[in-house]
Amino acid sequence: MNRNTDHSDTKRDCPAVTISLCMIVKNEERVLARCLESIRDLMDEIIIVDTGSQDRTKEIAAEYTDKIYDFPWTGNFSEARNFAFSRAGGDYIYSADADEVVDETNREKFRMLKQTLLPQVEIVQMYYGNQLAHGTVYNFNRELRPKLFKRLRTFEWIERVHETVRLLPVVFDSDIEITHLPQTNHSARDLKIFDDMAARGEAFSPRLLNMYARELLICGDGDALRKAERYFTQIADSEETGPEQMKEALCVVVRAARSRGDFIKMFRYAMKDVASDGVSEVCFELGEFYLERKEYTEAAVWFFNAAYETQSVLNIHCGGDWPLKRLAMCYEIMENEEQAEYYRQAALEWRAAR
């Protein structure tokens, strides 16, 4: 039975715009129905692009739509999403992942948005919630993301004199929140793509380089760090590297060098960071180095710097609850229970504020 064939109620309630749901999926049998059940009545068509499922994903998708397409996986998510978008026919395209859910409160907000959306709006942003689950690479539990896109864009001239074509899209920040409920961590998949790009010498945009470094710092194991170390060392050694990219590269190099016991390299690149304004991630690594050697006073100095004197650039935990917990551990070992309790509470308060 195709559950998406009758949209008469939706069209009466939401006459202003039509929306095409576009999804790319692979082996999502555990979560796909949950996602589609939460949004199917808000959509005017559902387009599913499968990139090589070996489970019941396409069978489940067929219960909701007959617009199911196979797209051979190329290692490029953008190519798959562009293919899905090319099949859409609605006024707007809603892009969703299979591990997302829209609850009843936000479904009603979505329904109202559909009824009242002004045609001038080209992108609608929605809040993406539950981001800190499963060790994702994002540092905020709730953030705005572009989710709804006008399918066809109309260019228009602006300015009373010295007129020009408006190039920037009209973006509306809605209060709709999408709940992200991942079943697993996708870091291994993402890191393989990043590693292949680095091995081929592909250029990374500043945004993508930041995401690569975040994946490594938050989710990468020793093997992943070793694979990436040479690439990030080259970035850290280049005179053409900008200050933000330099900080990110140093975080990776210091972590990688410590993980394989090359402490001379670790200190050389750590001091390169500390000589500037320093970042929490590097201070935390220095604290870990001294903690492993049971030099608790020195470890506490660096954990304090990580928590209070520097800012994180990749992993907020390195400037928050992680060094605070380590401070509590150090002072507990040094039999200073008052200080240990202070930092335990500080770690709890930090977590509660997120």
Residue 181 pLDDT greater than 90, yes or no:
no
Q: What is the pTM for the complete model shown?
A: 0.71
Q: Of 113-122, 182-191, 303-312, 328-337, where does mean pLDDT reach its minimum? A: 182-191
Calculate the CA 328 to chain-centre distance: 30
Q: Given this model, what pLDDT does residue 190 score?
A: 84
Q: Given this model, what pLDDT does residue 58 score?
A: 97
Q: Is residue 3 part of a domain?
A: no
At residue 139 the predicted structure's pLDDT band, cuts being 50, 70 and 90, is: low
CB neighbours of residue 170 within 10 Å: 14
What Cα–Cα distance (Å) separates residue 263 from each residue in 195, 242, 260, 291?
A: 24, 25, 8, 14
CA angle 298, 304, 310 (to 5 degrees): 120
Q: Given this model, what pLDDT does residue 10 score?
A: 40
Q: Given this model, what pLDDT does residue 353 score?
A: 84
Q: Is residue 63 part of a domain?
A: yes
Same domain, 108 and 14: yes
Same domain, 145 and 119: yes
Q: Given this model, what pLDDT does residue 99 score?
A: 93
Q: End of a domain among 131, 148, 180? A: 180
Q: Given this model, what pLDDT does residue 6 score?
A: 44
Same domain, 224 and 320: yes
* More confident of the two residues 219 and 34: 34
Q: End of a domain among 146, 161, 180? A: 180
Q: Which domain holds residue 14?
A: 8-180
Q: Given this model, what pLDDT does residue 162 score?
A: 64
User: What average pLDDT does this structure show over 140-164?
Assistant: 82
The model's pLDDT over 5-43, given as tens digits with 9 standing for 90+, comes to 344 444 444 456 999 999 999 999 999 999 999 999 999
Judged by DSSP in three states, 34 sits in helix
Give the number of domains in the chain: 2
Same domain, 303 and 267: yes
Q: Is residue 147 part of a domain?
A: yes
Same domain, 293 and 342: yes
Please enumerate in sequence order all residues whose Cβ is within 8 A of that of 119, keeping only pairs 6 or more positions apart, or say none. Answer: 17
Q: What does DSSP assign to residue 91?
A: S
For residue 149, the one-letter residue type is F
Same domain, 153 and 287: no
User: What average pLDDT does this structure show over 41-52?
Assistant: 97
Same domain, 246 and 314: yes
The model's pLDDT over 272-292, given as tens digits with 9 standing for 90+, comes to 998 888 999 999 999 999 999
Q: Is residue 35 part of a domain?
A: yes
The pLDDT > 70 percentage for the chain reads 91
Same domain, 200 and 85: no
Q: Of 42-51, 88-97, 126-135, 155-164, where does mean pLDDT reach its minimum? A: 126-135
What Cα–Cα distance (Å) separates residue 120 from each residue in 57, 124, 343?
A: 36, 11, 51
At residue 354 the predicted structure's pLDDT band, cuts being 50, 70 and 90, is: confident
The model's pLDDT over 300-316, given as tens digits with 9 standing for 90+, comes to 999 999 999 999 999 99
Q: End of a domain among 180, 207, 237? A: 180
Q: What is the mean pLDDT of the chain?
A: 89
Q: Is residue 56 part of a domain?
A: yes
Q: Given this model, what pLDDT does residue 4 score?
A: 44
Residue 270 pLDDT greater than 80, yes or no:
yes
Most confident of 219-228, 246-255, 270-279: 246-255
Q: Given this model, what pLDDT does residue 141 score?
A: 63
Same domain, 137 and 165: yes
Q: Given this model, what pLDDT does residue 61 score?
A: 97
Same domain, 108 and 138: yes
- The pairing of beta strand 123-129 with beta strand 142-150: antiparallel
Residue 224 pLDDT greater than 50, yes or no:
yes
List the CATH number of the domain containing 172: 3.90.550.10
Q: Is residue 333 part of a domain?
A: yes
Same domain, 168 and 76: yes
Same domain, 288 and 204: yes
CA gap 304, 301 in Å, rounded? 5
Q: Is residue 1 part of a domain?
A: no
Looking at the DSSP bridge assignments, the partners of residue 46 are 21
Q: Given this model, what pLDDT does residue 137 score?
A: 53
At residue 87 the predicted structure's pLDDT band, cuts being 50, 70 and 90, is: very high
Q: Given this model, what pLDDT does residue 138 score?
A: 56
Tokens 């026919």 belong to 89
List the CATH number of the domain containing 226: 1.25.40.10
